[in-house]
Amino acid sequence: MKKFHVIFSLVLALMLALTGCVSSTNNNGNTASPNNEGNNEEATNEQESGEVNVYTSRHYEADQMLYKKFEEETGIKVNVVEGKGEELMERLNREGDATNADVFITADAGNLHQAKEAELLQVVESDVLAENIPEKLRDVDNQWFGLTKRARVIVYDKERVSPEELSTYEALTEPEWKDRVVVRSSENMYNMSLLASFIDIMGRDQAKEWAQGIADNMARDPEGGDRDQAKAVVAGEADVAIMNTYYIGVMLNGADEEEKKVAENVGVFFPNQETTGTHINISGAGVTKHAKNQENAIKFIEFLSGEEAQGQFAEANSEYPVNENVEPSELLKSWGEFKEQDINLSVLGENQQDAIRIFNEVGWK
Ligand code: FE
């Protein structure tokens, strides 16, 4: 009886073991079919060869569409983390070499310079990027690359101001413009970069004089973003605003009827055409210092600098392409061609601290 019991137990154990075997075979077999286990397996493969992780402060639909295109063309999966430029830089810093991020994208050469100074980026040698992106729109050490270009211009009320009255940024400091100018706060990086460019072009003393003159001619204390400056002009609070071109495009093409009207009622004027050129800035990208998917990261930035992506940036977001083989959108063309400041955008970051000091000295809030 005992013997039978032992045999029975052995048979039972064997059966259980076999069932285990069968079920594990089943699991293996299932990896080919699209259940959870299969997806996990795919995810692991992606981590090994086929993904790129992007930290970006740009939050436009056009960008999402481009990432999808890149995925289709290359099979490389694009994982995106969106956030404010500063927050993402803090995060990169905190994560150190444990970071997942391969690419950092943000607006303003000043921000990109900060990322470089904080040693968050690495040097990238790429013939494609060197060919697609003009030298002055790239970091001198090839740590960041401009992807879109924006001009910081004078926007005026079409009814009260004639473009013949306008000429240069400097002319807005004349007494005739007293209480007629609006521009956002000096805490905004676009303004830091604008002043940084003037420090490079005209020297510190004259740049400070300019900032003082604008602060003196302001129609109100700075408030709101670039769009709010155009709104103040159309509302009659001021006659001219200093702001970025693409916001006019964004307002014209957007769903907000009121903003559309504002954009239709202002003119775009490119200052300093007879002298030093209109101030331009960029949004751009770099490969993070601790990128795990370095090759894919470079491929990704190369793709964004290519003709297809550049055309879409211009069309969907009213930004100027950096790639000179690509034509700007019809709207951008309607504003006309213009002469740009002839400086390497690296100086925008290099002069940033000095620009902040000047703003404080002259009381530009
Ligand atoms: Fe902006």
Spacing, Cα 75 to ligand 1 middle (Å)? 31
Q: Within its chain, how far is the Cα of 197 from the centroid?
A: 19
Q: Residue 26: which pLDDT band, with cuts at 50, 70 and 90?
A: very low
More confident residue, 31 or 245: 245
Instruction: State in Å: Cα 35 to ligand 1 middle.
Output: 43
User: Where in the chain are all domains bearing CATH 3.40.190.10?
Assistant: 52-149+280-327, 150-279+345-362
Report CA(150)–ligand 1 centroid distance (Å): 9
Does the pLDDT of residue 126 top 50, yes or no? yes
pLDDT tens digits, residue range 78-87? Answer: 999 999 999 9
Reply yes or no on whether the pLDDT at 191 is more than 50.
yes
Of 3, 1, 365, nearest to 186 (Cα)?
Answer: 365
As a 3-state breakdown, the chain gives helix, strand, coil percent values, each rounded to 5, of 55, 15, 30
Tens of pLDDT, residue by residue over 80-107, are 999 999 999 999 999 999 999 999 999 9
The C-alpha angle with vertex 44 and arms to 42 and 50, in degrees rounded to 5, equals: 80
**How remote is the CA of residue 245 from the centroid of ligand 1, in Å?**
10
Tokens of 106: 């943000």
Which structure tokens are listed for 354?
Answer: 């000095």
Question: In the CATH scheme, what architecture does the domain 150-279+345-362 have?
Answer: 3-Layer(aba) Sandwich (3.40)
Which CATH number is 52-149+280-327 given?
Answer: 3.40.190.10
Q: Taking 70 as the threshold, does the pLDDT of residue 231 lie above it?
A: yes
Per-residue pLDDT averaged across 202-221, rounded?
Answer: 98
Mean model confidence pLDDT for the chain: 89
47-61, 133-147, 156-170, 200-214: least confidently modelled range: 47-61
**pLDDT of the residue at 233:** 98
- Ligand 1 centroid to 286 CA: how many Å? 19
Res 60: pLDDT: 83
Kindly give the distance from the C-alpha atom of residue 290 to the centroid of ligand 1, in angstroms, as a whole number: 28
- Cα of 266 vs centre of ligand 1, distance in Å, is 18
> Which of 41-45, 142-146, 268-272, 281-285 has the lowest average pLDDT?
41-45
Ligand 1 geometric centre to CA of 58 (Å): 9
* Alpha carbon distance 211, 173 (integer Å): 8
Task: Return d(Cα 27, Cα 135) in angstroms, integer.
Answer: 55
Token pair of 36 as six digits: 């959870």
Expressed in angstroms and rounded, the spacing between residue 312 Cα and the centre of ligand 1 is 17
- CB burial of 335-355 (b: ≥16 within 10 Å; e: otherwise) equals beebebbebbbbbbbbbbebb
Distance 15 CA to ligand 1 centre (A): 68
pLDDT over threshold 90, residue 317: no
pLDDT value, residue 217: 98
- Res 40 pLDDT > 80: no
Confidence of residue 59 (pLDDT cuts 50, 70, 90): confident
Q: How far is the CA of 106 from the centre of ligand 1 (A)?
A: 10
Confidence grade of residue 50 (pLDDT, cut at 50, 70, 90):
very high
CA of residue 279 to ligand 1 center, whole Å: 15
- pTM of the predicted model as reported, rounded to 2 decimal places: 0.83
pLDDT of residue 5: 53
Residue 147 per-residue DSSP state:
E
Each residue's pLDDT tens digit, 257-271? 999 999 999 999 999
Query: 46 falls in which pLDDT band (50, 70, 90)?
Result: very low
Q: How far does residue 311's CA lie from ligand 1's centre (Å)? A: 19
